[in-house]
């Protein structure tokens, strides 16, 4: 039996899981075309805007934006399927509502059932799942939000300086240290960019380069230089910051 041609996007921060789902989807639904893959929620939103897929498979727990947060921006444009490893509360919510889900590692009869349901929905307006997403987000957010860093401690001479993240323009890796740049100047801390990326609010700070984390609302403009590279200019700082090729999706409109 042939099914309508459909396109899909896979979003999961673990590449082996993306590979596995792609492989098993090929077996369960050979006609389905995977048009893009994302490693986080921010990428998922940008790539969905670029490729306009019929279906988006979203891992619930991803850096940048969670799958639930990304779904709130995508659900009225495409059919959403969540992928989860252990969220029992989420599974219970899915069973009661219009949300669809796959348990990691995705496969078997559950994947076939999901594909059958998606095939039946192609061409139809995606379900309005805003209420269910809001409920999931309420369960998922409080503990997570409390973990974000709001202050950075820096040793300056014999003093310990407390810097609010609202003052910070960007972080940049600098050999054994990380440079913390504010409008008033810079200090060095021993935390790595990887540690900071995990501890800071992903809605407040974006990784634009392997060596740079920038505060989003400190960005004044994004331009292209003569070599075609995207360059970020931040408020109250003269130097431009380079956006690496792998992070240009953050500024998709350019």
221-246 pLDDT, tens digit each:
999 888 888 999 999 899 999 999 88
Q: What is the mean pLDDT of residues 23-43?
A: 94
Predicted local confidence at residue 146, as pLDDT = 45
User: How far is 229 from 223, CA to CA, in rounded Å?
Assistant: 8
Q: What is the mean pLDDT of residues 153-170?
A: 88
- Three-state DSSP at 102 gives strand
Angle between helices 130-147 and 67-74 (to 10 degrees): 140
Which of 104-109's residues contact partners 24+ apart within 8 Å by CB, and which partners?
Answer: 104/17, 105/17, 105/20, 106/20, 106/21, 106/24, 107/20, 107/24
**Residue with more model confidence, 171 or 95:** 171
Predicted local confidence at residue 6, as pLDDT = 94
Chain-centroid distance of CA 120 in Å reads 29
Predicted local confidence at residue 254, as pLDDT = 41
Angle of CA points 16, 20, 210, to nearest 5°:
30
Q: Does 89 have pLDDT greater than 60?
A: no
pLDDT-derived band at 85, boundaries 50, 70, 90: confident
Q: Does 143 have pLDDT greater than 50?
A: no
Six-digit token pair at 136? 């999931």
Q: Does 144 have pLDDT greater than 50?
A: no
Q: Tell me: cis bond preceding 105? Omega within 30 of 0 counts.
A: yes
Answer left, alpha or beta for residue 162, where phi above 0 means left and psi between -120 and 50 means alpha.
Answer: beta
Average pLDDT, the chain: 85
């Amino acid at each position: 039996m042939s099914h309508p041609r459909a396109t899909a996007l896979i979003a999961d921060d673990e590449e082996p899981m993306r590979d596995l789902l792609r492989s098993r989807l090929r077996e369960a639904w050979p006609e389905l075309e995977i048009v893009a893959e994302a490693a986080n929620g921010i990428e998922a939103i940008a790539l969905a805007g670029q490729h306009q897929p019929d279906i988006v498979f979203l891992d619930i727990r991803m850096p940048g934006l969670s799958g639930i947060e990304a779904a709130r921006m995508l659900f009225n444009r495409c059919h959403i399927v969540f992928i989860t490893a252990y969220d029992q509360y989420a599974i219970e919510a899915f069973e009661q509502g219009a949300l669809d889900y796959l348990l990691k590692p995705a496969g078997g009869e559950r994947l076939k059932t999901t594909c059958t349901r998606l095939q039946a929905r192609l061409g139809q307006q995606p379900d309005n799942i805003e209420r269910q997403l809001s409920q999931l987000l309420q369960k998922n957010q409080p503990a997570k939000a409390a973990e974000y860093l709001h202050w950075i401690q820096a040793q300056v001479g014999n003093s310990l300086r407390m810097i609010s993240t609202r003052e910070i323009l960007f972080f940049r890796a600098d050999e054994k240290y990380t440079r913390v740049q504010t409008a008033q100047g810079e200090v060095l801390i021993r935390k790595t960019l990887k540690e900071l990326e995990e501890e800071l609010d992903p809605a407040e700070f974006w990784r634009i380069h392997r060596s740079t984390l920038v505060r989003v609302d400190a960005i004044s403009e994004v331009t292209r230089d003569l070599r075609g590279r995207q360059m970020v200019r931040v408020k109250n700082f003269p130097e431009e910051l380079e956006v690496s090729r792998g992070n240009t999706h953050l500024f998709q409109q350019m």
